[in-house]
Amino acid sequence: MAASVAVVGLLGGEPVGKAAGRALEGADLVVGGRHQLDACRPLAARTLAIEGGLGPVLDAVEAEPGRVCVLASGDPGFFGVVRALAERLRPERLEVHPAPSSVALAFARLGLPWDDATVVSAHGRPLAEAAAVAAGAAKVAVLVSPDSPPEALGRALLAQGAAPRRVAVCARLGEPGERVDETDLEGLAAGTWEQRSVVVLVERAAAVAPAPVLAWGRPEAAFASRGGMVTKGEVRAVALGKLALPASGVLWDVGAGSGSVAVEAAALAPGLRVVAVERRADDAGRIRANAERHGVAVEVMEGEVPDALDGLADPDRVFVGGGGLAVLDAVLARLRPGGRVVATFAAVDRAAAGADRLGNLVQVSVHRGVPVGGTTRLQAENPVFVAWGPGADG
């Protein structure tokens, strides 16, 4: 087994920097897509082409006793192969030599900064979800694919009523045949474009920029639900606060029901990948409808836990709204280091058991004002227990 694995990003078919060049030249095994291997020939090392799934390639890399170099396009840590390699081999075994990412090149060609841009990928996720994120962002880059080409993105954005945009389709960046075409949403939808492109969308300047609105704990009536089965707005607000949502990463809403927590998390942290897991097909349909209604991207996975979790990326945050302690144990087994789980319970014995696993517990009791005969009385809602952790909440 090799002590370390070099991961080399290519720009125009060449490594960037002397260290990256040495890593490629000194390798005993070079792994990459066929076009990447062809661009780097002649190679003295043995080669292995990535075709189909990554599983057999990862097996070969892990078993190789010599020096390994894995080739990638651009920055391999940006929606690239570094994630899969780190999960299999551990991050400390990787020596990553990035080239500029396709997104960085796209904004560079347009002469625009992108530290304030949203980036979303249409690879491996429904195009409508990527379009929902793009429609809500003032400046966004969308990584499209053969299954979700630029013109399909344009049609999806028009269907969602996206505001007029400056649009640029950036193809073959850093390679022979590079081109950058500017258009608008209508032109994007009507055209035929290079399938492997970066589509940059920028809102046209408005006379007065609207002030951003940050809101959570929305009323239950804002969500379609089955018989009123939706997390109460006040409980949802506490749960979202305890989740301490990161700007990026993966969040699961397990036993999602109406998906109200998933929808609000996606609105609060647009860069977060949000997955709602729900066993009932009718509830899964309501989650999709609620996400579309609120203009956010939520992926929906139908199935029973734990089997429904098998194909999902490990989470940084999890909300458990249903399923009990067995579900809580299943998500804790998959939680990434430093992650957090928030779970709600109606029964005190299950809440106590949840607190034993997570470390923290609070009871949320809410009384709502109800008009009665010209005055207002307070009507108690059923109390809900919220547990969160792991570990003590300092």
What local confidence, expressed as pLDDT, does residue 213 receive? 59
Cα 355-361-365 angle, rounded to 5 deg: 135
- How far from 235 is each of 69, 103, 142, 242, 380, CA to CA, in Å? 50, 39, 34, 11, 14
Tell me whether residue 212 is in a domain: no
282 pLDDT above the threshold of 50: yes
What is the predicted pLDDT for the residue at 311? 81
- Name 337's Cβ contacts closer than 8 Å, sequence gap at least 6: none
245 & 340 share domain: yes
Res 150 pLDDT > 50: yes
Q: pTM for the full model?
A: 0.54
Omega prior to 42 cis, within 30 of 0 = yes
Are residues 377 and 335 both part of a single domain? Answer: yes
Does the pLDDT value for residue 149 go beyond 90?
A: yes
- Residue 162 sits at the vertex; the CA angle it makes with 157 and 163, to the nearest 5 degrees, is 140
Q: Who has greater pLDDT, 211 or 143?
A: 143
150/133 same-domain check:
yes
- pLDDT at site 159: 85
Angle at 171 between CA 152 and CA 52, to 5 degrees: 75
- Residue 1 pLDDT: 55
Nearest-CA neighbor of 196 among 131, 148, 141?
A: 148
Share of the chain above pLDDT 90, in %: 52
Maximum separation of any 2 CA atoms in the chain, in Å: 89
User: 315, 334 in Cβ contact below 8 A?
Assistant: yes
CA–CA separation, 298 and 129 (whole Å):
7
Please check whether residue 247 lies inside any domain of the structure.
yes
Residues β-bridged to residue 180: 170
Rounded Cα–Cα distance for residues 30 and 264 (Å): 44
- b/e map of 158-196 (b: 16 or more CB within 10 Å)? beeebeebbbbbbbebbeeeeebbebebeebbeeebeeb
* Residues 130 and 90 both lie in one domain: no
The verdict on residue 243 lying in a domain is: yes
Distance between CA 330 and CA 255 in Å, rounded? 12
Kindly report the number of other CB atoms within 10 A of residue 60's CB atom. Answer: 13
Give the end of a domain, one of 52, 83, 99: 99
Assess if residue 19 is contained within a domain.
yes
Q: Does the residue 91 lie in any domain? A: yes
Of 99, 114, 133, the domain-final residue: 99
210 is a domain residue: no
The answer, yes or no, to whether residue 394 has pLDDT greater than 60, is no
Residue 209, in any domain of the structure: no
Residue 394 to residue 385: CA distance in whole angstroms: 19
**Per-residue model confidence (pLDDT) at position 110:** 93
Q: Which one, of 5, 123, 16, lies nearest residue 73 by Cα? A: 16
- Per the model's pLDDT, the better-predicted residue between 324 and 142 turns out to be 142
Instruction: Please state, in angstroms and rounded to a whole number, the distance separating the CA atoms of residues 371 and 376.
Output: 4
Pick the last residue of a domain from 161, 177, 203.
Answer: 203
Has residue 214 been placed in a domain?
Answer: no
Mean pLDDT of the chain: 88
Name the residue range of residue 77's domain. Answer: 5-99
In order, the DSSP letters of 253-293 are: EET-TT-HHHHHHHHH-TTEEEEEEES-HHHHHHHHHHHHH
Number of domains the chain is built from? 3
Q: Residue 208 has what DSSP assignment?
A: S
Q: What is the CATH number of the domain that holds 159?
A: 3.30.950.10
